[in-house]
Amino acid sequence: MNNNKNWNKEIKTNFDNAANHYYYHSSIQKHFCYEIILLIEKLSIRNGEWFDLGSGIGFLADEIEKQFPQKNVCRIDFSEKMLSNNKKNSKTILWDLNKGLPIEASRSTLLISNFCLHWLIEPELALKDWFFKLDEGGFLIVCLPTSNSFPEWKFTCKENDFEYSGLTFPDSNSLIKDFKPNQIYSIKTYNYQENFKNVYKLFRNIINMGAHSTKSKRKSISELRAMQDLWPKHKRNSVNLTWEICILVLRK
């Protein structure tokens, strides 16, 4: 229990520290905001409340409200500093989603979560809880990295006989195993590749997003140099980081 508490505290601290500059370093999160909006446009969603789970600075909620001006998306996050970066007069709830959904989000017609679920202590249980608390006929849209992400990073660690220190993301098949076929409206995976001048810039970007929490020992300077040497290179000796992203749409 204490280990989980400490882990959650580390995650929160890192996102708190990144809140003021998160926008400038979260290109992948912003990219998939628009993929989510394209999906929402195709859904027949009953009238009701919409919630953004793990909303961060509110970029997704803002873009949804631009596309659907009649909606006021409620933003839920456990970082007060992230919520303070939401636009003025936003509807927000300070809440740790490891405790389940706040009562205000029960029986909503749309729950959306972008790059949040994998940070929770028990992602599969959280997903089932969110789905259970939807209104009948409601939709749950979850976007998250999968266990197939970061092949370059894993390859480099294997070549150096280093421990892989990145986050272990959920397996998309394990997330849906307890749902009935008629509850899975759609599931799609995407490859998204980021390019950086070197490994040091790559890891700095992860830190700038607040996404550098790890249960592994931090790499030493000599280990980072070895990773820079062996990381697969591309044009002008740059390095790539490849994500596999899953967008899952569930209908109750």
Backbone angles phi and psi of 245, in degrees to 5: -110, 135
Instruction: Say how many domains are in the chain.
Output: 1
Is there a domain that residue 212 lies in? Answer: no
Is there a domain that residue 111 lies in? Answer: yes
CATH number of the domain bearing residue 30: 3.40.50.150
Is there a domain that residue 207 lies in? Answer: no
Query: 234's torsion region: left (phi>0), alpha (psi -120 to 50) or beta?
Result: beta
Is there a domain that residue 90 lies in? Answer: yes
Strand order in the sheet with 239-251: 92-94, 74-77, 50-53, 110-114, 139-145, 239-251, 184-196
Domain of 185 in residue numbering reads as 2-152+168-195+243-251
Is there a domain that residue 48 lies in? Answer: yes
Is there a domain that residue 144 lies in? Answer: yes
Is there a domain that residue 120 lies in? Answer: yes
Sequential DSSP letters for 44-76? -PPSS-EEEET-TTSHHHHHHHHHSTT--PEEE
pLDDT digits (tens, 9 = 90+) for 130-184: 999 999 999 999 999 999 999 999 999 999 899 999 999 999 999 999 999 999 9
pLDDT digits (tens, 9 = 90+) for 205-228: 999 999 999 888 888 899 999 999
Is there a domain that residue 236 lies in? Answer: no
* Number of neighbouring beta carbons within 10 Å of residue 2: 6
